[in-house]
Structure 1
């Protein structure tokens, strides 16, 4: 297969173009165009658009790292950055990020019904390389990844032992919020491969000895309107099943309702959307049995339609 996920291709027989978002088999690929609709097409029916450069392309500079003094030598900071493709959001790219002063010799092997070498290369100091791409919808089918790293420098610091990272990723591994990734300066999920150096803050350690056993817990006052749409609650919602999404939404609802009661709010509105009505039904079932709820009703229809519930509290 000469195409890779994220490649920009043009149809031979039609005036269409898009990004490769799925490798179906050796003869078939999935191509997603501007309408975000994926079209299965024989690989022989498209051609690679040469010279196209993605806006997020990572520099492939493999020059030797600049010499730095031993005092300024940075020994820690190796990450795996997972970044959604800016043009084909159903695809993510894995970048090996070297935020150290070492030069790294790295390999990636995927393990699924046998081993397959995916990447081998030299990653210069303060640089990154894309080492793998995958389709989000196939997360459960992703192979186990094995990354091996050797450290190299012409200077004279202590050389760490070779680093091995082995992981079969699951949806929970991407449950955290996206953050700006070092070196590549893009939004994505960051996984640390080496352990940071342990730094003990003497002042904080002293404070911990004198901390009261019983501290007053403060609960923040929620917004008057609480949006329960899953895309507002989790960045990784595309990885979650319907049952997991419902559980997260109900948990957020319960916490917001409790916070409103503690802060003695007279009322609160929960925006749950219309959808198939499951979330609305579960919320109103809980409200009907809650001792601190005076009554509830559909919120302002002109603003929310039938997608929100207004709750009056005692």
Structure 2
């Protein structure tokens, strides 16, 4: 992992966590605490603390972040506490002013400039949902999006997780990533309507661990909705466990993100729910009980005997668990003269032959013993498994018999 990394413009620290993750961590050192409340102006020349890159402030996003245009032309959002002021716009403007001569004060703003500032403030309020004009656009709800990033060899390296609010209402949410029952990333934010936020990144290897993405929160109501006596707040809770079979579903073009990603629905609609009016028991009409004539039932069973042959035959799945041991001494006794690459090829050939046989027989699970070693054989096996749509999941978890030297493969077949 590189010491510092930038994901789609967000500057993150490169301090690895104890699980080896690469998430967007925000921490405060004594030096950074002094800059925590530093304000920047448009045109200020700044330096990014973690990457040493320089650029200029081109937009004030909110109280905590600004948009910086780097010297290479990239534009990225950065937290103000992660910036160091190199030279202010005022200092840049006054470079050519002789010492002792102060520039004249700026002229007072004109009525047109004041009106433009007011309109800009109103536009900002409308963006964050604090407006009375109703958003008439479609309510497409809330989604998580997992955008894959590839290695040079074309294999997936990691996923970047986004939270997309494609609805007319702002939402307040909490998102957590749990790995092996430990929270490795957490964030609580208010996301405006029709907006998107980058959460964290997930290495591909985490899909074979106990990974859980937890998203919960509520839709922020309008003032008028709060005053309604029958108003019920809209809340949401989504617990999602990404698995290897996610890769077989295919990506889709995500709204607002405008990039291909794996979609995870969180909330179908942010529309406020209303409590039912009247007596709830009056609204539930139980279905009348149906009388079944035993004699007629017997006749129907006799008449439908031919239909039994029309039913599809059930898929026969072997109940016995397949286990293959890939230790080279199990596959070829005389292996002392073989090179490491030749041994690896023999092991992968034996594994793929057994894997294809298990799929052909529609077996439910399979255990491959690859040993601990350097992990090279295990990595090659994982790469092969990702190419089989019948593989629903595979995990190198602790096994009571093989410890961490085996991988359990689960299969799933289409009817």
TM-score tier, shorter chain, comes to 0.3 to 0.5
TM-score, normalised by the number of residues in structure 1: 0.45
TM-score, normalised with respect to structure 2:
0.35
Bigger radius of gyration: 2
Determine which structure has greater relative contact order: mean sequence separation of CA pairs < 8 Å that are 6+ residues apart, divided by chain length: 1
